[in-house]
Amino acid sequence: MTYTLQDFAKEAQRIVDRGDSAERAIAAIAGPLERIISRPDCLTDLPDRDDPDPDEGFMIHRSDNLTINAVVWAPESGAPVHNHNGWAMEGVISGIELNRNFDRTDDGSRPWFATLEERAPTRVEAGETTFLPEPPSDIHAVEIRHGKTVAIHVYGLDLFRQWRYRFDLDTGKVEPFGMRTRPRA
């Protein structure tokens, strides 16, 4: 029997509904995420979705404690340094997603200011998954250097109701922003 995107969303929702720690939820969702992205055509499981390689991202599932998005990155694109204010997972269906990861090095005492130090990047290729832990270790940037990339992103919160922050590496400025209706990082 084929494991569908709907099966994955139901399983991920059951996992987060248990109320486990972020670490346990991430560990429990890792296998199902690997399973669904092993099917390059998995995005066609949804009604009105017949293209396994779409040009735009879309929402797969949304609840108060879970958001699952199909994310499509154009070649030579990405996202600036930002956070999610919660844990996240990524499973790449096609292409390569590079996450530049950062640690916050200041004490947070200056409003709307942060100093960051870059740590080792995470390169996620087709068929691979990765995760971003809870804050403050969720600060990262995304770079797409090698053609179009299609991925499934899983967030342990309602990303559309969550304020997030962009970080300017040159000035230290921190700027709040809300999620757009079209999925991105």
**Mean pLDDT in the chain?**
94
Span 66-83, mean pLDDT? 97
- Per CATH, the number for 5-177 is 2.60.120.10
- Contacts with 19 (C-beta within 8 Å, 6 or more apart), sequence order: none
Spatial contact of 92 and 124, defined as CB atoms under 8 Å apart: yes
Give me 95's structure tokens.
């292409």
- Please tell me the predicted confidence (pLDDT) of residue 180: 63
Q: How far is CA 37 from CA 32, 40, 57, in A?
A: 9, 6, 15
Q: Hey, where are the domains in the chain?
A: 5-177
CA 147 to chain centroid = 19
182: pLDDT confidence band, cut at 50, 70 and 90?
very low
Percentage of residues in the chain having pLDDT higher than 90? 91
Place of tokens 């204010």: 85
Predicted local confidence at residue 24, as pLDDT = 98
When pLDDT is averaged across residues 97-116 and rounded to a whole number, the result is 96
